[in-house]
With several copies, the nearest count.
Chain A
């Protein structure tokens, strides 16, 4: 099965309402028995210069979209999924707001647990997205690095 490329990047934070609407759209898909959702939220970490107030995301967008597409295809090939959605923020996401939303659905729970973890780890490792952590009120920042 070929899955059409989907738009992943959204401008700024991902709202809880957007997530609710996405869940609601799946209620007509009655072969689904289990949904699993991962949300990345911006922490107010303490740094040398003060508290993190947000992250400004940039990306090598062409390569990133291809990487997201490859991750989708790999996940559909490995796990028995009915649906998969990935959204990631670009631009400023303030502390406490959501920058990553991964949503997988399947008839049974096992596939959703395995797929969700696989997808999140792949995104962290393979998608060229860059994050500038804004620190304190004086315009300081540090560059984020995934572990």
Chain B
């Protein structure tokens, strides 16, 4: 199952790209995807980030829907 992952700010800097498709097992959780991403980009282990799925903040137990838009969000700095 494919999901689209967006990286922002310092995370895009660490991965070297803003957007990437990931293949995950059917009914994979956010946590599972997070682990795959950290395996590929160990530099992200030191960074604080939260995860949004389809533009909603979620916790890691959520099961990813197909074609989910997943965003890795570093600390907010608006204002």
Contact = CB atoms under 8 A, between A and B. Distances in A.
Is there a contact between chains A and B in the complex with CB atoms less than 8 Å apart? yes
Interface stretch (B5-13, B27-35, B36-44): B5-13
A131 B79 CA distance: 9
B9 A58 contact: yes
B73 interface: yes
Interface in B44-79: 52, 55, 71, 73-79
A80 interface: no
A128 B52 contact: yes
Contacts of B10: 130, 143
B59 to A, nearest CB: 16
Contacts, number: 67
B52 A131 contact: no
Contacts of A88: 78-79
A146 B55 contact: no
Interface string A119-138: 01001111111111000000
The dominant DSSP class at the A interface is mixed
A109 to B, nearest CB: 8
A21 interface: no
A127 B76 contact: yes
Contact of A146 (B9, B73, B75): B75
A49 to B, nearest CB: 16
A102 B8 CA distance: 25
Interface string A25-68: 00000000000000010000000000000010111101110100
A60 B73 contact: yes
A6 interface: no
Contacts of A130: 8-10, 74, 76-77
Interface of A: 40, 55, 57-60, 62-64, 66, 88, 99-100, 109, 120, 123-132, 143-146
